[in-house]
Chain A
Amino acid sequence: MTLPRSGRHDGEPPARPRRLPPARPARARLTPVDAALFGLVALALAYAAYRVDDVLAYRWNWGQAFNFVIRYDAATGSWVPNLLLQGAAMTLRLALWGTVLATLIGVVMGLARTSTNLTLQLLSRAYVELIRNIPPVVFIFIFYFFISSQLFPAIGVDRLRPDSPILANPVALVLFGPPNLFANFLSGVVCLAIFEAAYVTEIVRSGIQSVEKGQWEAARAIGLSHTRVIADVVLPQALRRILPPLGGQFISLVKDSAMVSLISVQELTFLSNEVASTTRRTFETWIIAATFYFAMCLVFSLLFDHLERRARLVPR
């Protein structure tokens, strides 16, 4: 019997010298082509600025426009939000409630669309096709009439007074905005949600249908009820897969909220329009409005990036 040469454990083969694999060759990240492209973009921007400033001969007055974001109230001696900021707050409320409602309706309708019940399938299909095939603006005009003349009397919204304790409290003020604008706000939310939910329905449907047949079968085979199959196995997988298109849809929702300005919901676009036409500070006002929209959409976008990354932590 021979002793192993390495004095560690019996039976372990002696260590062999290993050749290290070569390092990955370095690659330049910024090439001359990139630099040239940057230069071109910078030139184009400079030219545009020159045109606006010189040829257009527009007299900028940012102070007046900013005054409509926040203004100094001499009576109380404090800064108070003015029309544009109020509008931005209203748009934010529209976006948040719209997202919540559109998600709820979209998931329910998406489930209906993929159910085995023919009536539910047809209802969901009809809903999606009706909304997808009418211009949103036209839909909102028709639907607004229905909401304000039928839905609100039916659920008693038109009997709610601005001083009712349901609306006139700090929480409701944050969630729903000023009490005197509640009906106005609600019609905006309902229109927006029903419109966007049609697209969410389609996204949810595609997500549910992307879950393999084997998953349904395995869930059924362990004796789960239909509801549990959906809730525990199908929806969790479907929702992970549809996060990217859903994120895109919610960004669209923020931008589409501008449409409800047409039914006089006092959100950012509606109030910007008022401010721009009364002050004639067109560019300043709309640039401020655009900045608000951009910030809100960017936050949504980053939020969904984050959610996507978290969903990916669960390996598939």
Chain B
Amino acid sequence: MIGTVGQDAAPILVMRDVCKWYAEFCALYAVDLEVLPGERVVVCGPSGSGKSTLIRCVNGLETHERGSIILEGREVDGDPKKITAVRRRVGMVFQQFNLFPHLTVLQNCVLGPVRNHGIPRKEAENLAMSVLERVHIAEQATKYPSQLSGGQQQRVAIARALCMKPTLMLFDEPTSALDPEMITEVLDVIVELADQGMTMICVTHEMGFARRVADRIVFMDAGEIVEIASPEEFFRAPQSDRAKAFLRPILSH
């Protein structure tokens, strides 16, 4: 898997010494992370360890107080213009889908391209239909989100993000709100994306999925990156005690 990543290419994302506080609580502490083009990074760790906060800082949904986050040469800081530019290059998929309930599936996908890039609606709809094909949900294009199952909604959310032609995809626990029988259809779509070379950072508790797609596993605890390793190393022989403690109950059955 690592062979697909251009080792000499410039990183898409560089995070240096990123710190974030919620009031007095330190949610992220001195996070250093680089993501190369085409790389698949899976972030895991116990709940409350700062995984979601980490990826939410990447597209400026949360602000960091210290350190720098640079995406394709653009620094993510308080400047709204720069953040908007960054968000148009980064797709995000949420745990709770967050589809726009007043818009159809197709309108959900078309909104970004039409409003941000000024693409004519007809053209944007064609693009959206081809993306909906990719996530195997084109036949539901005229329905409203409430008429779809959780798994279908999440695939639409992935399509909505892909319609912006992102260079990096962020997945924030994409299967945690799903019924068990729907997890596979969503993970399959993400695996297909990964196989097509999409750069992604994925926060997940699905360890089988992590082992299958990840180039690197980032293990976090208490706001810090404790360990970064290939999936083979991480699951076979985790280095830190905290990773061992985290994996023990997961791997025991």
Contact = CB atoms under 8 A, between A and B. Distances in A.
A316 B100 contact: no
B203 to A, nearest CB: 15
Interface in B111-126: 111-112, 115-116
Contact of B94 (A217, A225, A228, A314): A217
Given A217-B61, A314-B144, A315-B146, A223 B98 contact: no
A132 interface: no
A214 B98 CA distance: 6
Contacts of A215: 98, 100
Contacts of A134: none
B116 A223 contact: yes
A316 to B, nearest CB: 5
Contacts of A232: 111, 115
A223 B100 contact: no
Interface string B68-88: 000000000000100011011
A228 B111 CA distance: 10
Given A225-B84, A226-B80, A218 B115 contact: no
A219 B94 CA distance: 12
Contacts of A222: 87-88, 91, 111-112, 116, 160-161, 164
A260 B87 CA distance: 51
B204 interface: no
A240 interface: yes
A258 B4 CA distance: 76
Given A215-B98, A221-B59, A232-B115, A315 B87 contact: no
A312 to B, nearest CB: 12
A71 interface: no
Contact of A315 (B80, B85, B92, B147): B147
Interface residues of B, number: 29
A316 B160 contact: no
A237 interface: yes
Contacts of B44: none
Q: Which of B60, B85, B92 has the most CB of A within 10 A?
A: B92
Contacts of B161: 221-222
Contacts of A228: 115
A182 to B, nearest CB: 40
A223 B76 CA distance: 13
Nearest to B109: A222
A260 to B, nearest CB: 37
Given A217-B61, A314-B144, A315-B146, A224 B112 contact: yes
Contact of B61 (A221, A233, A237): A221
A220 B61 contact: yes
A237 B144 CA distance: 14
B167 interface: no
Q: Which of B92, B94, B101, B144 has the most CB of A within 10 A?
A: B101
Interface in B138-153: 144, 146-147
Contacts of A226: 80
Interface SS, A side:
helix
B230 interface: no
A233 B98 CA distance: 11
Given A225-B84, A232-B115, A315-B147, A219 B61 contact: no
A234 to B, nearest CB: 10
A257 B177 CA distance: 51
B102 interface: yes
Contacts of A217: 61, 94, 98
A225 B60 CA distance: 13
A316 B116 CA distance: 26
A236 interface: yes
A223 B102 contact: no
A217 B96 CA distance: 11
Interface string A118-148: 0000000000000000000000000000000
Given A226-B80, A228-B115, A218 B100 contact: yes
B115 A214 contact: no
B87 A236 contact: no
B160 to A, nearest CB: 7
B220 interface: no
Contact of B100 (A219, A220, A225, A315): A219
B57 interface: no
A232 B98 CA distance: 14
A224 B146 contact: no
8 contacts: A217-B61, A218-B92, A222-B88, A223-B116, A224-B111, A225-B115, A316-B101, A316-B146
Given A223-B116, A224-B84, A224-B112, 13 more contacts: A215-B100, A217-B94, A221-B91, A221-B94, A222-B91, A222-B111, A223-B112, A226-B80, A232-B111, A233-B111, A314-B101, A316-B102, A316-B146
